[in-house]
A and B are shown apart, each in its own frame.
Chain A
Amino acid sequence: MTHPIRGKTAVVGIGTFGCGEAPGWSSIELMCQSAVLALADAGIPLHEVDGVFAATATHAFPTMSVAEYLGVKPRYFDGTNVGGSSFEQHMLNAALALDAGLCNVALICYGSNQRTASGKLVPLSEPQPFETPYKPRMPMNAYALAASRHMHQYGTTREQLAEVAVAARAWANLNPEAFMHGKPLSVADVMKSRLISDPLTVLDCCLVTDGGAACVMVRADRAKDCAQTPAYLLGAAGANWHRTISMMPDLTVTACAESGPRAFAMAGMTQADVDLVMLYDAFTINPILFLEDLGFCPKGEGGRFVSGGRIAPGGELAVNTNGGGLSCVHPGMYGMYLIVEAVRQLRGQAGARQVKDCDVALLNGNGGTLSSQITALLGTAATL
């Protein structure tokens, strides 16, 4: 039986602005400039926006800030903050609100000027009373601990982690908008780069960039008449098992082992239907864990699965074709860019990195320290 919200809504506009370095731009400016571009892309006038969804690391009340800045008066708004996975959750919540008629045009947006403003990842987290006294360097240490456990339990190697960074860079070199475009990277380069939190080197960690991004969603009946080819939301689901890394039930199993199957069930699809996989790659261990937990390979096999260029251009599975958080853009909460790249690929607008016959994209947003996982499936009209 078809799930009641499968294919009922679609992303019809996307916009990015200031990705990489945006000196002199504030977070709200980056966010709202992206929103304006996303609306222009959709061919929908600003005054029609009546649903606002936003999350940043710097705004206490992001939906209020966006509504005021753009001068819109939303009748539905949601500032759910589950870290970098917020925007996948916003997509699901927007689909529910649109389908219920609580709003007609949903704007989802994000912006951060962390690179030019501070030069480092801006943490949005309050101190954790049972972790902070040990002076962890978060989020990096959390992912290093998970990697240490995966290596211990499954024999995953530093070379296999490096393969993830190398594949991301190879994709970035096909994407002129990627921050690391034009800078080739080899496994040997990663292996000899500086260890900062064993087993992770600086090149196992995501970029610190600026950037804004936004998308616009409407109901499927209107999507057909928009300026761009719609990307329909086929399924989405979230799962959250912990907040702090020391309370994660098993450091080798993330909650997308639960959100993935639920998202697939909603879409009525399996891994074999997926043409593009967009995974939140804050660190090289992430895609390894997520490919396992989402069922693209057995548990423990992720390291071997990503080896030999399997997820790089020309490989068997297209993963993170924009270059990912590792090599394209990472302003702190990268999840919005998973949506942007998936939509570009589904529209056939990805240029040199275009995945052939791309009809189904899987997105997996990650928030906190492997804490919140939101899986979503987007598809072209052919999948309806």
Chain B
Amino acid sequence: MTDIVGGPEAQFRAFLKQGRFMIQRSRSTGKHVYYPRVAVPGSGETDLEWVPAAGTGTVYATTTNRTREGNTNLAIIELDEGPRMMSRVEGVPAETVKIGQRVKARIAVEDAAEIILFEVLA
């Protein structure tokens, strides 16, 4: 941590660059936070620490972008820790992704930046 400069977003991205999907957790309340922030949204606790995300979650909402280049998924994933995040579910045809499906995160590099994508859990 000490070698990471900047705010919560920069720290999150630095972890990703190291291959680690970390999320924030409030020490006093145990509440998890994504996306990274300076305080827990709504209640304001500032005692946020970084913890490894389980990386597992459930598809909360999903759509398929149908373009001339093909179909791509876009989804909102509810992480097992509670917070939701935008991502894509890959590895299966985009239009077969269903709400309620269990998914697991992986770190990918796209446009020279690390991002978190999801795959369907068998």
**Which residues of B are found within 8 Å of A198, using beta-carbon distances?**
62-64, 66, 95
Partner of B9, one of A129, A137, A145: A129
Partner of B74, one of A134, A146, A200, A251: A134
**Which residues of A are found within 8 Å of B84, using beta-carbon distances?**
246-247
Contact with B along A189-225 (1 / 0, CB 8 A): 0000011111110000000000000000000000000
**Interface: B5 (CB within 8 A):** no
Complex Cα spacing A135 to B60, Å: 18
Least Cβ distance of B94 to chain A in Å? 9
**Which residues of A are found within 8 Å of B61, using beta-carbon distances?**
145-146, 148-149, 152, 251
Least Cβ distance of B68 to chain A in Å? 11
Instruction: Give the contacts of B98-122 with A (CB-CB under 8 A).
Output: 99-100, 110-111, 113, 115
**Interface: B76 (CB within 8 A):** yes
**Which residues of B are found within 8 Å of A197, using beta-carbon distances?**
63-66, 74
* Docked-complex contact B74 and A141, CB < 8 angstroms: yes
Contact with B along A209-245 (1 / 0, CB 8 A): 0000000000000000000000000000000000011
* Docked-complex contact A136 and B99, CB < 8 angstroms: no
**Interface: A177 (CB within 8 A):** no
**Chain B residue, CB-CB nearest to A195:** B66
**Which residues of B are found within 8 Å of A244, using beta-carbon distances?**
86
Complex Cα spacing A198 to B64, Å: 5
Partner of A141, one of B65, B87, B110, B113: B65
**Which residues of A are found within 8 Å of B110, using beta-carbon distances?**
133
* Docked-complex contact A134 and B76, CB < 8 angstroms: no
Least Cβ distance of B21 to chain A in Å? 13
**Which residues of B are found within 8 Å of A135, using beta-carbon distances?**
72, 74
**Chain B residue, CB-CB nearest to A147:** B63
**Which residues of B are found within 8 Å of A141, using beta-carbon distances?**
63, 65, 74
Least Cβ distance of B85 to chain A in Å? 6
**Which residues of B are found within 8 Å of A200, using beta-carbon distances?**
63
**Which residues of B are found within 8 Å of A136, using beta-carbon distances?**
74, 86
* Docked-complex contact B65 and A134, CB < 8 angstroms: no
Complex Cα spacing A251 to B60, Å: 9
Instruction: Give the contacts of B11-63 with A (CB-CB under 8 A).
Output: 35, 60-63
* Docked-complex contact A149 and B99, CB < 8 angstroms: yes
* Docked-complex contact A149 and B60, CB < 8 angstroms: yes
Partner of A130, one of B63, B86, B100: B86
**Chain A residue, CB-CB nearest to B34:** A130
* Docked-complex contact A145 and B74, CB < 8 angstroms: yes
Least Cβ distance of A92 to chain B in Å? 25
**Which residues of A are found within 8 Å of B85, using beta-carbon distances?**
130, 246
**Interface: A144 (CB within 8 A):** yes
* Docked-complex contact A130 and B35, CB < 8 angstroms: yes
Least Cβ distance of B62 to chain A in Å? 6
**Which residues of A are found within 8 Å of B111, using beta-carbon distances?**
133
**Which residues of A are found within 8 Å of B62, using beta-carbon distances?**
145, 148, 198
**Chain B residue, CB-CB nearest to A145:** B61
Partner of B76, one of A145, A195, A196: A145
16 cross-chain CB contacts under 8 A: A133-B110, A134-B74, A134-B87, A134-B88, A141-B63, A145-B75, A148-B62, A149-B99, A196-B66, A197-B64, A197-B66, A197-B74, A198-B66, A198-B95, A246-B85, A251-B61
Interface residues of chain B, those whose CB is within 8 Å of chain A, are: 9, 35, 60-66, 72, 74-76, 84-88, 95, 99-100, 110-111, 113, 115
Interface residues of chain A, those whose CB is within 8 Å of chain B, are: 129-131, 133-137, 141, 144-146, 148-149, 152, 194-200, 244-247, 251
Known: A149-B99, A197-B65, A251-B61. 12 other contacts (CB 8 A): A129-B35, A133-B111, A133-B115, A134-B87, A141-B65, A145-B62, A146-B61, A148-B61, A152-B100, A196-B66, A199-B63, A251-B60
